[in-house]
Structure 1
């Protein structure tokens, strides 16, 4: 199935200034949001307790906040969860008491607010939260490093650096959207970002592979034309893959509920941004980093000559002539 005509070459490189300007604006806006509003860390990373409460009717959020003010839970964050009849009560710090003790306390405190049921209580200690946050950052950093090494070995270091720039571009803008919409940052979100790293790199590798293939089967020296042709040939595949994945993620986002909202939102935003960057952002940086078609062909010719020489020596050795 083809969305775009594979025989037509689109001038992506001719519009690289416009696309990179858009990316620059989005990155600056995202950094501004991260510096001013920051991220809304969940209890996975900062520690604390979340009490999930379901009411028979619409939850009286203002009344809940009022009754909590006269207790040790004063200042707790009370917000709607999934629907108007369900709320979460979030407060920093976790109790050394068992969960049932907190449940009993909340059942007594919330009596004036109406008929309700405590559905779930989650607790994470501050030390555990800090450890999870550190490990999450380490996992993301190791994933980026592994991708850098893999692409540098398989292609060429300029391809690797351009791909990492694309990944950083995707992660910053995705985090900016997370900050804008106040999505909780938790372990599910880290899993989503790691998934997006693999997804985006896969798209980038396909384009890089087509560029390398074009270098081997054609004598074209103009890098802009090679990139335009390579991206155009893979455009239908890239868009179809992204749209198919978005169908699934959109379903999760709409019907998955609050439990997987952070994961679904991150995947939804990341797929759109990752698809955009693999088409419009990564390829221009290959040129900006000084990639030369002539130099690449000389290196590849030398590698091929060395390979043939090794095969010749091996054959002579096996025949007892060395």
Structure 2
């Protein structure tokens, strides 16, 4: 019985030629990510900034955001962020770290409870001190850096130099565009976001390794075809697997986005975007990049070397230009 195929086995699409569009597009998004990061920064969650987060549920089913914001500012505790989320009158109220320390933070929570408990059900109260948030920032940053370094070392030993560099470029590309997602959508960046980024790094590595393994096999098998055609062939050969993996993963994440609830919705949103970016990167960024990293078939490399030798010999035989008369 023939298995279901989401992509035809005998496909011959010219993916590599789209690099004239995808390279400038990725470069533009990367530059915009850098600009947004330098100008407005990430929307750090309470894990990193410290403070108190309260999630409220309106007992009437309809939240009065203006009244919640007015009540929150009446505490005179500095900047307060009030946002409506989900459906059915759900509100999040975020208070910054108070200068009075733990006692001041506890008093703020008590005052807020008394002010809101009449009209709202208090679903969650989460308090993080400045010292704890600083430690979380250091631990999260260190975890991301070490994981990326481990991935780069693995790629360096897994492939030849030019293939390894292409895989490294693809992985860094996916990380940068994922950070761009946080900057553009203003999705809260917290410890769950760190977990999402690390998961996306693993997914990106998996997609790139599959295509590059096939590229390495075809480099040994086909020695007389153009490099672009060989790279297109490697993408087409692995496209069924790529489409199947991306589709099943995306459907699972879409279910989490729609029905998973507020607790994991942020993680699911980032992962769904990451699956799309990683699939795009493996096809339209990492693999075409190999052209500029010197990946060639044996015949093409020999032809290029022969052409270079002929050009040098012709240059050496050319008569010297006559000197001008004094």
Could you tell me the TM-score, scaled by structure 1's length? 0.84
Structure 1 residue corresponding to 2:13, chosen from 7, 10, 14 = 10
For residues 39 and 295 of structure 1, do their structure 2 counterparts lie closer, same or farther at Cα, with a shift above 3 Å needed? farther
- Aligned equivalents of 2:134, 2:106: Cα separation in 1: 25
Tell me the SS of whatever aligns to 1:265: helix
Choose from 228, 240, 248 the match for 1:236. 240
The CA distance in 2 between the partners of 1:63 and 1:8, in whole Å, is: 60
- Assess if the C-alpha contact under 8 Å between 2:158 and 2:164 holds in 1: no
Distance 2:135 2:298 in 1: 49
Alpha carbons of 1:88 and 1:151: their partners in 2 closer, same or farther (altered >3 Å)? same
Distance 1:297 1:86, change over 3 A: same
1:41 is aligned, of 34, 40, 44, to 44
Matched, 1:73 2:77: yes
1:284 maps to: 288
For 2:278 and 2:182, locate their aligned partners in 1 and report how far apart those are by CA, in whole Å.
15
Give the corresponding residue for 1:105.
Answer: 111
Runs of 4+ in 1 over 6 A off after TM superposition: 295-298
Mapped partners of 2:183, 2:81: distance in 1: 17
Match for residue 168 of structure 1 among 161, 168, 172: 172
Quickly say closer, same or farther: Cα 1:205–1:296, change in 2 above 3 A: farther
Measure the CA separation in 1 of the matches of 2:54 and 2:299: 62
1:141 to 129, 139, 145: 145
Contact 1:4 1:235 in 2 (8 A): yes
| Partner Cα separation in structure 2 for residue 277 and residue 205 of structure 1 | 12
Aligned residue for 1:184, secondary structure, equals coil
Q: Deviations over 1:225-251 (max 9, x none)?
A: 221110110011101110110001111
Residues 224 and 299, structure 2, Cα contact 8 Å, conserved in 1: no
Give distance in 1, aligned partners of 2:176 and 2:274: 10
Partner Cα separation in structure 1 for residue 158 and residue 299 of structure 2: 17
Equivalent residue number for residue 157 of structure 2: 153
Q: 2:102 aligns with which of 96, 118, 123?
A: 96
CA shift for structure 1 position 88: 1.4
TM-score by length of 2: 0.83
Tell which deviates more after alignment, 252-261 or 181-190: 252-261
Moved more, 263-272 or 288-297: 288-297
Deviation at 1:159, TM superposition (A): 1.5
Moved more, 215-224 or 269-278: 215-224
> Alpha-carbon deviation of 1:186?
0.7
Report the Cα offset of residue 26 of structure 1: 2.2
Q: CA deviation at 1:99?
A: 8.2
| Matching residue of 1:122 | 126
1:25 aligned residue (28, 31, 34): 28
Give the match's secondary structure for 1:40.
Answer: coil
Cα deviation per residue 1:109-143 (whole Å; 9 max; x = unaligned)? 336xx522222211111122122122222222222
Q: How far apart in 2 are the matches of 1:18 and 1:12?
A: 11
Report the equivalent of 1:294: 298
Which position in structure 2 is the counterpart of 1:302? none
Deviation, structure 1 residue 84? 4.1
Distance 1:121 1:98 in 2: 15
Aligned to 1:86: 90
